[in-house]
């Protein structure tokens, strides 16, 4: 197992469902000790979310299992005096406190930034919310689909006929969680120099808009609003999804040399000399005609055959996989992306969870334990607080 950069860092995780738990899962993979603080008898809402009703009933919904391996669970009622005292003791020994309540909820419970900073001046407090802790929308409820809509993301997903469409997974939750994990890590690194904690106010809306790249920058710089283009790439042609003999094939011939190589390999070198396709801008202007010509040539072979022809020649190409095909990719197996864990309920079932997508010194970071049952570490609360009753650590030591 590789040395993990956040080993020794302690995270109190008060989050639910996805953006927050995804963030703390990444921190756990990086070595942090993550303790989920869950409402007694209820826990993370994701415990009841997933396609299998029986797992949802037992508090082990697939949505929970996917993001909570390697964490601990302690039930604490922040409205109970005894539990509040224990929570304060844990805050004093924590490096990070992470929550994704609606803006101001934790403050109304008596644990806003001022109080948390008094308890632990070195604490990194990260609050993830839909719109941030300030502003006219700060109190509005937000789910992934709400953010997808307001960010403009849905308006450019699909075609002229089908847009707006939702991206097929909770991308804004994921982006919000990754943004939080990045800034938590940066704040911990900065603390090693300043000795001071930080309040991180993460807005899922702002994180989503930031991640939209050219869709936003083209409008800001040139005043050109993006349009839905289905499976095509607005920045180049031919770049998008095409038709092979057995299904869709993605090709991204974004450079002139790649375009010319593609034309050679599909036996359509005449397209190189066609004035409609002479350069990038003219290919974009005549995208539909170029796509028609290439589809006619590409239908002669299967997606696999074209992958084996185009990719070695430097033309990015790959079939469009469904999720079952994706999880069976040899590439993911080679890099150890998935980890098999025992099921939390002790059954013979195997739980497969995803990694971070990063190898550390050539090795993947894996969770060492399955997701916890609700309150699994309740009996260890005193020992946990005793162990944490030392000054919080640093990511970087001098």
Domain ranges of the chain: 10-211+330-388, 255-315
What pLDDT shows up at residue 394?
54
Phi, psi of 33 (to 5 degrees): -85, 115
> Using one digit for the tens of pLDDT, what is the confidence trace for 183-240?
999 999 999 999 999 999 999 999 999 999 999 999 999 999 999 999 999 889 999 9
Task: Name 359's bridge partners.
Answer: 364
CB of 121 closer than 8 Å to CB of 114:
no
Q: How is residue 206 written in tokens? A: 């702002």
* Cis check: omega of the bond before 238, within 30 degrees of 0: yes
What pLDDT shows up at residue 1?
59
Question: Which of 71, 52, 75, 74 lies closest to 63, judged by CA?
Answer: 52
What pLDDT shows up at residue 384?
87
Report the CATH architecture of 10-211+330-388. Answer: 3-Layer(aba) Sandwich (3.40)
What pLDDT shows up at residue 389?
76
Active-site annotation, residues? 173
Distances 305 to 300, 322, 326 between C-alpha atoms, Å: 10, 18, 18
Length of the chain: 398
Phi, psi of 68 (to 5 degrees): -130, 15
Question: Which of 15, 64, 20 lies closest to 56, judged by CA?
Answer: 64
Task: For the chain, list residues with pLDDT below 70.
Answer: 1-2, 390-398
What pLDDT shows up at residue 398?
32
């Amino acid at each position: 197992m590789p040395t993990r950069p956040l080993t020794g860092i302690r995270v109190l995780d008060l989050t639910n469902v996805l953006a927050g738990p995804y963030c703390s899962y990444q921190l756990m993979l990086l070595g942090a000790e993550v303790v989920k603080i869950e409402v007694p008898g209820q826990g993370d809402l994701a415990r009841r979310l997933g396609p299998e009703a029986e797992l949802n009933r037992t508090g082990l919904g697939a949505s929970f299992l996917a993001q909570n391996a390697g964490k601990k669970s302690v039930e604490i009622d922040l409205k109970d005096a005894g539990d509040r005292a224990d929570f304060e003791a844990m805050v004093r020994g924590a490096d990070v406190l992470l929550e994704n309540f609606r803006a101001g909820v934790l403050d109304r419970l008596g644990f806003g930034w001022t109080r948390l900073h008094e308890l632990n001046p070195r604490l990194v407090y990260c609050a993830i919310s839909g719109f941030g802790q300030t502003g006219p929308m700060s109190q509005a409820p937000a789910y992934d689909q709400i953010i997808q809509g307001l960010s403009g993301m849905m308006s450019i997903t699909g075609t002229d006929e089908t847009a707006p469409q939702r991206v097929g997974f909770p991308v804004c939750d994921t982006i919000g969680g990754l943004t939080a994990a990045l800034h938590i890590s940066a704040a911990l690194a900065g603390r090693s120099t300043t000795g001071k904690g930080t309040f991180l106010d993460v807005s899922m809306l702002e994180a989503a808009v930031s991640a939209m790249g050219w869709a936003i920058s083209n409008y800001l710089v040139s005043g050109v609003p993006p349009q839905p283009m289905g499976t095509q790439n607005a920045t180049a042609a031919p770049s998008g999804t095409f038709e092979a003999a057995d299904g869709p094939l993605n090709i991204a011939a974004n450079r002139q040399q790649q375009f010319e190589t593609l034309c050679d390999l599909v036996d359509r070198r005449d397209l190189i000399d066609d004035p409609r396709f002479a350069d990038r801008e003219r290919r974009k202007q005549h995208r539909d005609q170029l796509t028609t010509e290439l589809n006619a040539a590409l239908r002669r072979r299967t997606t696999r055959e074209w992958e084996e022809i185009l990719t070695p020649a430097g033309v990015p190409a790959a079939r469009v996989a469904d999720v079952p095909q994706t999880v069976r990719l040899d590439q993911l197996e080679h890099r150890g992306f998935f980890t098999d864990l025992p099921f939390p309920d002790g059954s013979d079932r195997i739980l497969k969870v995803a990694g971070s997508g990063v190898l550390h010194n050539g090795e993947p970071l894996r969770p060492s334990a399955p997701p916890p049952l609700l309150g699994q570490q309740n009996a260890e609360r005193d020992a946990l607080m005793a162990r944490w009753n030392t000054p919080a650590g640093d990511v970087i030591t001098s």
